[in-house]
Amino acid sequence: MGVRRAVEMVLNAPHKHKSPISTYGPLIHNPQVLKLLEEKEIFVINDIPENGSGTILIRAHGVPPGVKENLEKVGFDVVDATCPRVIKVQSIIKQHAGQNFASIILGDKDHPEVVGLLGYAGENGYVIGSGSELNSLPRFEKAIVVAQTTQNTLLFDEIRKLVTDKFPHYKVFNTICDSTGRRQAEVKRLASSVDAIIVVGGFSSGNTKRLAEIAEETGKPAYHIETESDFEVLDLKSLLSSRRIGITAGASTPNWTIKRVYRALEALSFKKERGWRKLGFYIQRTMLLTNIYVSIGAGCLCYACTMLQGISRFLPYVIISILYVQSMHILNHLTGSDSDRYNDPDRASFYKKHKVLLTALAIIAGGAGLVIAYTMGPVAFLMLFIMSIMGLSYNLKLLPRRFTGNRYLE
């Protein structure tokens, strides 16, 4: 939830806040999302400049309290995209720090979330990564124990038990995000029903690394990859010999990256095949990418409608529907390739590679449909012509931005 919220806030920022838009530190730990933001001219600022302008968003991991104040002082409009779960931990630490409690944080000391939490703890903040590190700390009269929101639930349970046994007067707060705990539990359940596990997500993402660790602890072959290109450097022998492969992903992994990995893995399994199975796979993929399946479906729907209406001369209508849908889908995918880069990368690559051929196919299909409609009379031709114009306008911005405020047809 926190990751999705932060990404939505930064993507909506140009419509709501003063430009230029930037983020203080990487918004989330996912290189593909950060690259997308750069393409939208939303850049990362890692240090506070002497003079700031425009709007800056606080990263989902949060920052020490002084950072936000300093950003405002130098001239930025500050929008806080800190995950609400992280804000809850910050509040717990701040409240108890004001009562002279020591704050013990279970987490990675260099992780930005932990750095931000330490800012709320003041001089009485300590970071631990194991039970031995907890034992090495001084014994405090008053202390709280919290966890980085993406911490390993098993490790936290060990620390909580140790605190109960040796430091019963310490207060322990389970601040691990609910979705983090559920995801880690799901990986364990997944491992029991598959032969290998793939964890998709940024190599610098704390919660993704935790999932990979848990997957490895199950004893099943586990692979932590960032994108589908990582398959090229992996030893795929044990992976491809698996009958069932489980795929999971970190909280900051976008859907388009998961889809790319799934498609690449699907293709890998067929590349080792020979004969008709391999040929059948590539024919199926081509029919999907060129929308032939969709066009045939449109023809079948048109045939059903003509039968229900008792139209005996159905063939021209069926052919027109197939040609129209084929033409419009291809042309709109050609003009909407920017969004396909993320939503359907296989299709975007296919259309880029075969752009000329697909353009010709779309024009021929659209023209043939109009010719058939012309032979059926002026009404049929005019209707199809208007539909074609409307179909071609699908990816066009019909209203000036001053009327829409950039909210529509992006």
Q: Which residues are catalytic?
A: 113
Owner of token pair 């060990």: 158
Check if the beta carbon of residue 196 is closer than 8 Å to that of residue 223.
yes
Distance CA 212, CA 216 (A): 6
Residue 17 in contact with residue 77, Cβ under 8 Å? yes
Between strands 102-106 and 77-80, the pairing is: unpaired
Q: Are 175 and 149 in contact (CB under 8 A)?
A: yes
